[in-house]
Chain A
């Protein structure tokens, strides 16, 4: 079993829809939870960074962490075609990031 599980997709939704992306994990020592966006042939770009449990909102993006269920989510409201990318979750107990496989998201105009 991988430490971090993430459905690779692709996930295809119409423009304007609310998108929900998820990761589950097995290591209860993880404290830092991140979501990265990666466009094709580019390096990852940090979207959201959360320490421990709770919610964090930034514009159209909301990150949720449920440590009791070992489950994290990223919600994208009012999705745009420019949001089409691969979204990777990453988490850490110290400084080494453990990555999910990434979910390819396609927003259809």
Chain B
């Protein structure tokens, strides 16, 4: 099956610094990538949808200036948490969609990145 990787898998940073998380589709081209965050014992919350070569679409309540998303190629999307604060500590998961001709393409999920902001 299709594989999505994330890097790093775990990052600890100081408050006020910025952190970049990479999401890669390893064996398919992902026109659309999604970024989720998940707090402990809670479900996934969609943060933004990004299409290759265009600006990301952010969900209501998600600060686009704080969570910068770049989808520069069909295999790579990055999420940068700028000026991170302890409340940004969470599990960040990306998924990539392999479009299936007009229908809903299956989303493949990365393993997630655990961010801890001290």
Contacts and interface: CB of A to CB of B under 8 A. Distances in A.
Contacts of B104: 31-32, 92, 94-95
B42 interface: yes
A95 B97 contact: yes
B46 A97 contact: yes
A46 interface: yes
Contacts of B63: none
A45 B91 contact: no
Contacts, number: 48
Contacts of B54: none
B110 A100 contact: no
Contacts of B112: 41-43
B111 A43 contact: yes
Interface residues on B, range: 20 to 34
A84 to B, nearest CB: 15
Contacts of B44: 44, 88, 99
Interface of B: 4, 6, 32, 34, 41-44, 46, 49, 91, 93, 95, 97, 104-112, 114
6 contacts: A43-B4, A44-B44, A46-B106, A94-B104, A95-B105, A100-B43
Given A36-B109, A45-B109, 6 more contacts: A41-B91, A43-B95, A95-B104, A96-B49, A100-B43, A102-B43
